[in-house]
Amino acid sequence: MNSHVSQLWAKSGLQSLICLILASFAGLGFWTLETQVQVFSFGDSLFDAQFFPRIVLGLIVVTALLCCVARIKKTDEPIGPFSGWIMAFVLLHFLE
């Protein structure tokens, strides 16, 4: 199991990382939408003010997860070492 995870991590690249981040943030938005207090409704229990955002966030989560599943067999461009990303963020910070 550990070797499978390490092989999957080695094949993962920027596109897979973006899909996972998008799915996690949309899932977080979906969760916060469900925990909000309903201020008003349109009188019907199905179509409230959170109906369309709920549909859109659900579609984003499903689409991002399907993209991740579809990319499991493909090899992405590697993200690179973590130290390289730190140096890139430091350089971008100094360029501001």
Cα–Cα distance between 58 and 71 in angstroms, integer? 20
Kindly indicate the confidence band of residue 89, based on its pLDDT and cuts at 50, 70 and 90. confident
Query: What rounded mean pLDDT belongs to the chain?
Result: 75
The domain locations on the chain are 2-95
Read off the pLDDT of residues 65-88 as tens digits, 9 standing for 90 and up.
888 888 777 766 666 676 777 777
Mean pLDDT, to the nearest integer, of 45-60? 81
Does pLDDT of 60 surpass 80?
yes
pLDDT at 80: 67
pLDDT at 2: 55
pLDDT at 76: 66
Q: What is the sign of the dihedral through the CA atoms of 82, 69, 15 and 90? A: negative
Kindly indicate the confidence band of residue 53, based on its pLDDT and cuts at 50, 70 and 90. confident
Cα–Cα distance between 59 and 48 in angstroms, integer? 18
